[in-house]
Amino acid sequence: MSRTASQSNLLIYAPVPLHLFEGELYIERQAVNGLRLWARHFDKITVMMPVSSTIPPAGWVSLRDHPQELSRVSIEPLPMAYRPDQFLYSLPQTLSRIRGLIKEADYLSFAIGGLFGDWGSVSCLAAHQMQRPFGVWTDRVESEVMRQSQDRPRDKALDQTTWRSRLRGRLYHRPMARLEEAVIQRADLGLFHGAETYQAYHGFCRNPQLVHDIHIAEEDHISDSALAAKMTDVAGNRPLRLVYTGRAEAMKGPIDWTTVLERLNVLGVDFTATWLGDGESLPQMQARIQRAGLADRVEFPGFVEDRTTVLQTLRQADIFMFCHKTPESPRCLIEALTCGTPILGYTGAYAGDLIAKNSGGLLVSRGDTEALAYEIAGLDADRGRLAQCIKNARADGRPFSDAQVFAHRSALIKHHLPVGPSATMHQRKPAVARNWDAAPN
């Protein structure tokens, strides 16, 4: 390649969509932060992203408003092509474009997850064909998420969009799983966000690495003084404060979440609860809470864009209660821990790994709302134990910051992916760093 040794161009694919609206491109605010952090470690970042011609949702900002953060970032829009006909129509031209970008890049790392329209997987297979070393990134087991979408109880009241989603789950999850396996087997580096995805995929990969992806800065962690005040305050005779932050969608278990609140009410626990986030399940949740007579104790503010407000809500909460149904690695659990808020919810490799060192939370079997309610009631009855759990949560969250996790992934890419083509790349058997915060081998 024609680059000097000091130059480094990272090509990535990020599936989070751009939105083209009134001739202007909008990008997710957290994506801006991620690209800014990538640019700390590479001279140039080229990011491929699909483009939607819909009104940008809350949390998306104009690209024009971030010239400094994105000064060394080149954004390459790709077509949104999740239908088979759209994908097949777009494939020849888009593949040619992807191959051209691969030729120009020094390092390659692509997010995968999907089937039709998954340009990350297309990029991986193109890089393999071109004998270019590449990394693969994923933060959830997409095929399993798709499979579980078809297994939900039948409901005649479901709208047409939801029925289409379930039909896709029935048709796509097996070929999606085969595609995931084929791509990961060909990768030179697997960047698997959280223990859930690592556990699912590491057996397919020559060099799997457990990593994380969060967007909370070190200065946003709860301070020593605020932690001490929180531990003192929770000992007082006041209602227990519960919180969740995330989309109100079936995979997040929103109806289980309301079921736990109903059971806590029966158990005589005095509580308040807040769900921050929008989603298709929100009306059903609100109706359940209304019927249970809990409307004065449970709030649904919807999506809150102001990051300061979200963090303040997390810091003020005593427990982060979650009922995740699918194998994924949601950032909200780490964010709760960094705010000194214990995580109580359904068991899984990811959540279990986060609190393995200091016990900053409690986990029950997936779907066992009764057990979860009893664990929460037990902590409410023993506020001294809850105060210790708050302290433990802060300890479990202390190692995580956005700057640290992006530095870790960047170091892994530079260490394990040689620049340019490698004829012998598939004979290499690199050492595996299974601890996400360990130095690259």
Average of per-residue pLDDT values in the chain: 89
Instruction: Say yes or no: 68 and 207 in one domain.
Output: yes
pLDDT at 38: 96
pLDDT at 170: 59
User: pLDDT category, 169, cuts 50, 70, 90?
Assistant: low
* 416 falls within a domain: yes
* 435 falls within a domain: no
User: pLDDT category, 331, cuts 50, 70, 90?
Assistant: very high
**Residue range of the domain that includes 415:** 9-214+403-427
User: pLDDT category, 158, cuts 50, 70, 90?
Assistant: very low
**Is the model's pLDDT at 3 over the cut of 70?**
no
Instruction: Say yes or no: 223 and 347 in one domain.
Output: yes
User: What percent of the chain clears pLDDT 70, i.e. is strictly above it?
Assistant: 87
Instruction: Say yes or no: 407 and 379 in one domain.
Output: no
Instruction: Say yes or no: 307 and 162 in one domain.
Output: no
Q: How many domains does the chain have?
A: 2
User: pLDDT category, 142, cuts 50, 70, 90?
Assistant: confident
CA 315 to chain centre: 20
* 380 falls within a domain: yes
CB 337 within 8 A of CB 394: yes
Query: How far is the CA of 98 from the CAs of 18, 89, 92, 176, 267, in angstroms?
Result: 17, 15, 10, 21, 57
* 438 falls within a domain: no
User: β-strands 73-79, 107-111: how paired?
Assistant: unpaired
**Is the model's pLDDT at 347 over the cut of 50?**
yes
Give the DSSP H or E segment for 149.
Answer: helix 142-149
pLDDT at 171: 61
- pTM equals 0.85
Q: State the helix-helix crossing angle for 402-416 and 29-38, rounded to 10 degrees.
A: 50
Question: What does the pLDDT average to over 339-362?
Answer: 97
Instruction: Say yes or no: 152 and 243 in one domain.
Output: no
User: pLDDT category, 96, cuts 50, 70, 90?
Assistant: very high
pLDDT at 58: 82
Task: Decide: residue 95, CB within 10 A, 0-12 exposed, 13-18 middle, 19+ buried.
Answer: middle
- Separation of alpha carbons 412 and 432, rounded Å: 11
Question: What does the pLDDT average to over 388-409?
Answer: 97
Greatest extent of the chain over all pairs of C-alpha atoms, in Å: 70
pLDDT at 327: 84
Residues 6+ apart with CB under 8 A from 72: 39, 43, 44, 45
User: pLDDT category, 421, cuts 50, 70, 90?
Assistant: low
Instruction: Say yes or no: 300 and 275 in one domain.
Output: yes
Query: For residue range 65-79, what is the model confidence (pLDDT) as tens digits?
Result: 998 889 999 999 999
**Of 7-11, 84-88, 168-172, 268-272, which range is least confident?**
168-172
Instruction: Say yes or no: 245 and 137 in one domain.
Output: no
Q: What is the sign, positive or negative, of the torsion defined by CA atoms of 206, 207, 208, 212? A: negative
* 3 falls within a domain: no
* 437 falls within a domain: no
User: β-strands 60-62, 24-28: how paired?
Assistant: antiparallel
Instruction: Say yes or no: 47 and 71 in one domain.
Output: yes
**Is the model's pLDDT at 149 over the cut of 70?**
no
Instruction: Say yes or no: 257 and 373 in one domain.
Output: yes
Instruction: Say yes or no: 273 and 208 in one domain.
Output: no
**Of 7-16, 173-182, 242-251, 390-399, which range is least confident?**
173-182
* 331 falls within a domain: yes
The helix/strand/coil state of 179 is helix
pLDDT at 425: 43
Q: List b or e across 155-178, with b for residues whose CB sees 16 or more CB atoms inside 10 angstroms.
A: eeeeeeeeeebbebbeebbeebbe
CA 123 to chain centre: 21
Q: Please name which of 306, 241, 234 lies closest in space to residue 275, comparing C-alpha atoms.
A: 241
**Is the model's pLDDT at 176 over the cut of 70?**
yes
pLDDT at 59: 83
pLDDT at 228: 97
**Is the model's pLDDT at 428 over the cut of 80?**
no
Query: For residue range 362-398, what is the model confidence (pLDDT) as tens digits?
Result: 999 999 999 999 999 999 999 999 999 999 999 999 9
pLDDT at 154: 47
Query: For residue range 25-52, what is the model confidence (pLDDT) as tens digits?
Result: 999 999 999 999 999 999 999 999 999 9
* 434 falls within a domain: no
**Is the model's pLDDT at 159 over the cut of 70?**
no
pLDDT at 35: 96
- Separation of alpha carbons 366 and 404, rounded Å: 31
CATH of the domain at 384: 3.40.50.2000
Instruction: Say yes or no: 272 and 383 in one domain.
Output: yes
Instruction: Say yes or no: 55 and 115 in one domain.
Output: yes
